[in-house]
Amino acid sequence: MGYFPNWTLKTSGAVMPDERLPTGQTIIAGLQHVVAMFGATVLAPVLMGFDPNVAIFFSGVATLLFFVITRGQLPSYLGSSFAFIGVVIAATGYAGSGPNPNIAVALGGIIACGAAYALIGLIVQAVGTNWIEKLLPPVVTGAVVAAIGLNLTAVAIGMISASAYTKWLALFTVAAVALVAVYGTGLAQRLPVLIGGLAAYALYAVSATSFGAPPIDFGKIAAAPWFGLPHFVAPVFDARAMTLIVPVAIILVAENLGHIKGIAVMTGRTFDHLIGRGFFADGLSTMIAGSGGGTGVTTYAENMGVMAVTRVYSTLVFVAAGIIALILGFSPKFGAVIGTIPVAVLGGLAVVVFGLIAATAGRIWVENKVDFSEPKNLITVAVALILGAGDLKLPIFGYELGGIGTATFGAILLYHLLNRRAA
């Protein structure tokens, strides 16, 4: 076999990474992945004040780059990472709506984070993953993930608290997302954020003026051209922002490792030899995205969910998905549509998404059978949750480490300090 697999045609049953569907079905399957990723890939940049056109453009670039670096063997779509939201907001002082005026400072931190992540990938490729699993056991990764979700609480509540109307609309958004997630079937169940958000958007459009809220300006959508260049932004390297954002690399490592292991279970194949390449590809893609105004990127659970439902794991599907994302990135009209989403709707979506980030920690602990009768586990998690939720800012060598960074490094150091005693 050469650098890439020799994909063989498969028209029924499970389609493995080195197999392919007919061309038309491959394009449709790729579109389905873009749609499944749409809510997360667009919502994350909007919550940080980034341009969604630029974010989805770099999402396509990242997916194609990941395909090349992993030799076309590892099926994955790379979208905007929610792990960056808290630290980007902290680094830029973003108010929560409209374009982020300090985006350039965040980009420098995102590039630094991507560089750290890519370096970890190179080390893993050389020596394996055992050291990561020892440094970041499930109790620590779960604690850090929970701290990230809880750290974002104030952001979500701030977005929905403008008036009684915005609070009720946000709660409607939460209910709509939850109902679709639980009672939806087929593809709908894979798109709860998108469908729930659309329902809340429609409700706002017909009810806003009755409650004194500003109406949606559909004129902006009509005036936007169908095609145009994304608005790229150059990074600024600020030491404080970099120290805040770099720790996210630890989360991305744990997240990506879990996804690769999950794909291995679904396909019945081992991808351990590609873990280092996957980390490096993700890190390099994050650096490239940050260099032009995009968010940090990562592999996604939604992507894995679509594969589990369809049993189509062909990596060529992700080539189609990446190209479709690139095309969307060149559509200002698409960006104009995203720009009309009311803050209250975004706030409702943020309540769900940030809560799910925190709740994911529980899944990590349960699946890995973390024993909370062990004081070292209980204390590590307890301290990390409070440091993250309380957003403890810790001055270090003249710089300020934000709550997420404090919780991350605190959990790692505390666990290993408490784990020194022999069992």
SS3 341: coil
SS3 34: helix
| 4 lies in some domain | no
Mean pLDDT value of segment 225-250: 84
Distance CA 30, CA 310 (A): 12
| 1 lies in some domain | no
Query: What is the rounded average pLDDT for all residues in the chain?
Result: 82
pLDDT, position 43? 73
Q: In the beta sheet, which residues pair with residue 19? A: 8
Mean pLDDT value of segment 401-414: 81
Whether the per-residue pLDDT at 240 is higher than 90: the answer is: no
Q: How many domains does the chain have?
A: 1
| 7 lies in some domain | no
Per residue, what are the HEC states of the chain? CCCCCCCEECCCCCECCCEECCHHHHHHHHHHHHHHHHHHHHHHHHHHCCCHHHHHHHHHHHHHHHHHHCCCCCCCCEEECHHHHHHHHHHHCCCCCCCCCCHHHHHHHHHHHHHHHHHHHHHHHHHCCHHHHHHCCHHHHHHHHHHHHHHCHHHHHHHHCCCHHHHHHHHHHHHHHHHHHHHCCHHHHHCHHHHHHHHHHHHHHHHCHHHCCCCCCCHHHHHCCCCCCCCCCCCCCCHHHHHHHCCHHHHHHHHHHHHHHHHHHHHCCCCHHHHHHHHHHHHHHHHHHHCCCCCCEEECHHHHHHHHHHCECCCHHHHHHHHHHHHHHCCHHHHHHHHCCCHHHHHHHHHHHHHHHHHHHHHHHHHCCCCCCCHHHHHHHHHHHHHHHCCCCEEECCEEECHHHHHHHHHHHHHHHHCCCCC
pLDDT, position 121? 92
pLDDT, position 362? 81
Q: Which of 35-44, 150-159, 312-321 has the largest mean confidence?
A: 312-321
Distance CA 173, CA 417 (A): 43
| 161 lies in some domain | yes
pLDDT category at 190 given cuts 50, 70, 90 is low
pLDDT tens per residue, range 16-27: 888 888 888 888
Asked if residues 233 and 56 have their Cβ atoms less than 8 Å apart, the reply is: no
Cα–Cα distance list, 179 to 8, 56, 174 (Å): 40, 27, 9
- The upper half-sphere exposure of residue 141, i.e. CA atoms within 13 Å in the direction of its Cβ, equals 25
Whether the per-residue pLDDT at 180 is higher than 70: the answer is: yes
Mean pLDDT value of segment 165-172: 89
pLDDT, position 395? 76
Mean pLDDT value of segment 160-171: 85
pLDDT category at 191 given cuts 50, 70, 90 is low
Whether the per-residue pLDDT at 288 is higher than 90: the answer is: yes
Distance CA 94, CA 91 (A): 8
SS3 212: coil
Q: Which two tokens stand for residue 161?
A: 């608290």
pLDDT category at 404 given cuts 50, 70, 90 is confident
Residue with tokens 């706030």: 347
pLDDT category at 302 given cuts 50, 70, 90 is low
pLDDT tens per residue, range 65-122: 999 999 988 888 888 887 787 778 878 887 766 788 888 999 999 999 999 999 999 9
The beta strand positions in 57-158, using DSSP E, are: 78-80
| 202 lies in some domain | yes
Q: Which of 22-36, 113-127, 211-225, 236-250 has the largest mean confidence?
A: 113-127
Question: Beta strands 19-20 and 8-9: pairing type?
Answer: parallel
Residue with tokens 């491959």: 26
Whether the per-residue pLDDT at 368 is higher than 90: the answer is: no
- The upper half-sphere exposure of residue 160, i.e. CA atoms within 13 Å in the direction of its Cβ, equals 21
pTM of the complete model beyond 0.75: no
Least confident segment among 154-163, 186-195, 277-286, 291-300: 186-195
pLDDT, position 110? 93
| 244 lies in some domain | yes
**In this predicted model, which residue has the larger pLDDT, 183 or 117?**
117
The beta strand positions in 234-339, using DSSP E, are: 297-299
What is the domain range of residue 343?
16-418
Q: Which two tokens stand for residue 67?
A: 């395909």
pLDDT, position 277? 92
Residue with tokens 């709740």: 359
Q: In the beta sheet, which residues pair with residue 79? A: 298
* Rg of the chain, C-alpha, whole Å: 21
pLDDT, position 353? 72
| 397 lies in some domain | yes
% of the chain residues with pLDDT over 90: 16
| 203 lies in some domain | yes
Whether the per-residue pLDDT at 423 is higher than 60: the answer is: no
- The upper half-sphere exposure of residue 386, i.e. CA atoms within 13 Å in the direction of its Cβ, equals 5
